Chains A and B, each alone.
Chain A
Amino acid sequence: MSHTHNHLHQHGHDFAPGDERPDAEGIAEGIRNYLIGLGLAVLLTATSFFIAGTHLVWQPSIPVALIVLAIAQMGVHLVFFLHITTGPENTNNVMALAFGVLIVFLVIGGSIWIMDHMNQNMIPMDQIMQMQR
């Protein structure tokens, strides 16, 4: 019985991103989900702002910590606000997201990588100006 139910669930219907979950038991469950998301997001944001202003942690670790916290918070927003989950009816949404994330990393990572190398290997700008005279 449960097997047929799962089978139907996998092939029966895809799930719209942002839609309320089908297993949500009414309004209370929905509000609870948003409250959990809000609580986690506030916690992560507060930690980010605290870490940026504190001298309690090893300074060079701060940028990495901020990036990790930001990615964690984006995950919280995706799961609790946009309802992007790992469920089988959500596969299409997750695959599209994964492709988007890949392109984002290529664009940002590639730009920083290439421009950093160019900055190191090129003649400084003031010397180029001198040569053009």
Chain B
Amino acid sequence: MTSIPFTSETPERPRVGHGSHGHGHGHDAATGGGPASKRVFVAYGFWIFLLSDIIMFSAFFAAYAVLVKETAGGPTARDIVDLQNAALETAFLLASSFTCGLASIAVAARSKLWFYVGMAVTCLFGLGFLSLELAEFIHLIGTGAGPTRSAFLSAFFTLVGCHGLHVSIGILWLLTMMAQVFAKGFRADIERRILCFALFWHALDIIWVALFTVVYLMGSIQ
């Protein structure tokens, strides 16, 4: 990827419309019928990865659904879920997904300032989500409802923790993208990475929708 000379992807590509940039209209695909632009390839490949990641999550969801009743005399789903906490986590993650979208628009509009603002707010919401989840985990382990208590709690911590791990990695990636834009500007390769990051972050929110429905809401009505 780094062996490709910069001239093959000029940062100043022909603009289409007002301020919207060349998505797929890059010069290698401009005549139509030719191969898609590198931007489309990269994003499509990352989309395939995200789908495989979602399939991995589906295995954890299946394990959770199978083990949710196996509490071994310990706390049940109804005992451990805290709906207020879950609602706040949901709000944080949804807001971060929105601001991440605004940061993507800032890239399209070539505004570094708004990109930094959007990404910083996204980062803060993400950290807020993580701290709430961490507090929840610490509280559960402190009250003897740790992952070793029962098969149900093992499945719970694996499923929710795996999503939390993804969010942590996403925040590291987010900070990396801010640093790269700071050091290298809106270069074509940096833009592709930002596009992949945005896809990753939105996909995490989709998984959280399934998570708060299956684990928290359904747990509370059992």
Residues of A within 8 A of B (CB): 8, 11-20, 22, 24-27, 30-31, 34, 37-38, 41-42, 45, 48-49, 52-53, 59, 62-63, 66-67, 69-70, 73-74, 77-78, 81-82, 89, 92-93, 96-97, 99-100, 103-104, 107-108, 110-112, 115
Contact = CB atoms under 8 A, between A and B. Distances in A.
A17 B24 CA distance: 11
Contact of A70 (B18, B198, B213): B213
Q: Classify the secondary structure of A's interface with B.
A: helix
Contacts of A97: 47, 51
Contact of B16 (A15, A18, A22, A104): A22
Given A41-B94, A52-B220, A81-B205, A34 B47 contact: no
B98 interface: yes
B176 interface: no
B interface, size bucket:
35 or more
Given A11-B32, A73-B209, A17 B44 contact: yes
B54 A104 contact: yes
Contacts of A108: 58, 61-62, 65
Contacts of A111: 62-63, 65-66
Given A12-B32, A52-B83, A112 B55 contact: no
A66 B97 CA distance: 21
A69 B213 contact: yes
A34 B24 contact: no
B32 A13 contact: yes
Q: List 5 tightest A-B contacts by C-beta distance, closest first.
A: A16-B43, A12-B32, A100-B51, A111-B62, A70-B213
Given A49-B83, A77-B202, A81-B202, A20 B18 contact: no
Interface stretch (B5-13, B99-107, B133-141): B99-107
B44 A92 contact: yes
B165 to A, nearest CB: 20
A3 to B, nearest CB: 14
Contacts of B62: 107-108, 110-112
A16 B22 CA distance: 11
B54 A93 contact: no
Given A26-B19, A99-B51, A107-B62, A13 B221 contact: no
Nearest to A20: B108
A77 B205 CA distance: 8
B105 A34 contact: yes
Contacts of A112: 62, 65-66
A15 to B, nearest CB: 6
B23 A12 contact: no
B40 interface: yes
B105 A62 contact: no
15 contacts: A14-B24, A16-B195, A18-B195, A18-B198, A19-B39, A20-B105, A22-B24, A26-B20, A30-B108, A52-B218, A66-B217, A81-B202, A96-B51, A107-B62, A108-B65
